[in-house]
Amino acid sequence: MFRCGIAAMALLLVPLAACRGSDGGAVKPPAERAFVFGTRGVADVDGRFVAVTSDPIVLAKLEAELALPAAERFLHIHGPIARGDGGHNLAWSWHFVPGGWDLVEISAEVCDGTPRMVEADVNSWVDKVGTFCPWSSYVQGER
């Protein structure tokens, strides 16, 4: 019984140890960063939106895309959306859930569209589709 108690305590402490830096201090997650996306073939006013993330893997993908000429940026955004501008998504009444989205090469057609399409029927996009994956989107820059 005593050994089981020690093992249980060790399992509880491992996640805490993983949150410590080499100097013993807590490791801080990366700060949230906002990125502006455009939609190819759509005027900026109707195709531009902003998404926020602190996910290090997504940040690395964004930085790699931004190192390419705009015409060679082929990854598009894909992720869950929510009502409201989230405090960052320009004048839209929806936003990508911060840290919940990714940059991908391929998505299902059901979530493809334009920012204006989402705006026109936010409730359906949020409640039924759940995700937004505009195939023609690309990262334009950091905000």
pLDDT in tens, 11-35: 444 444 444 555 556 666 779 999 9
Q: Residue 25 contacts by C-beta under 8 Å, 6 or more apart in sequence?
A: none
Q: Which neighbouring-strand residues pair with 137?
A: 39
pLDDT score at 17: 44
Average pLDDT over residues 76-103: 97
pLDDT score at 99: 92
pLDDT score at 24: 59
Query: Under a CB-based contact definition with an 8 Å cutoff, are residues 98 and 34 in contact?
Result: no
**Residue 77, SS3?**
strand
pLDDT score at 9: 40
Mean pLDDT of the chain: 87
Average pLDDT over residues 38-44: 96
Residue 115 has which token pair?
């920012």
Average pLDDT over residues 89-104: 96
Total-model pTM: 0.80
How many alpha carbons fall within 13 Å on the CB side of residue 66? 14
Between residues 5 and 84, the one the model is more confident about? 84
Structure confidence by residue, pLDDT tens digits, 102-138:
999 999 999 999 999 999 999 999 999 999 999 999 9
Separation in Å, CA 57 to CA 11, 85, 103, 137: 27, 24, 10, 19
Per DSSP, 29 falls in state P
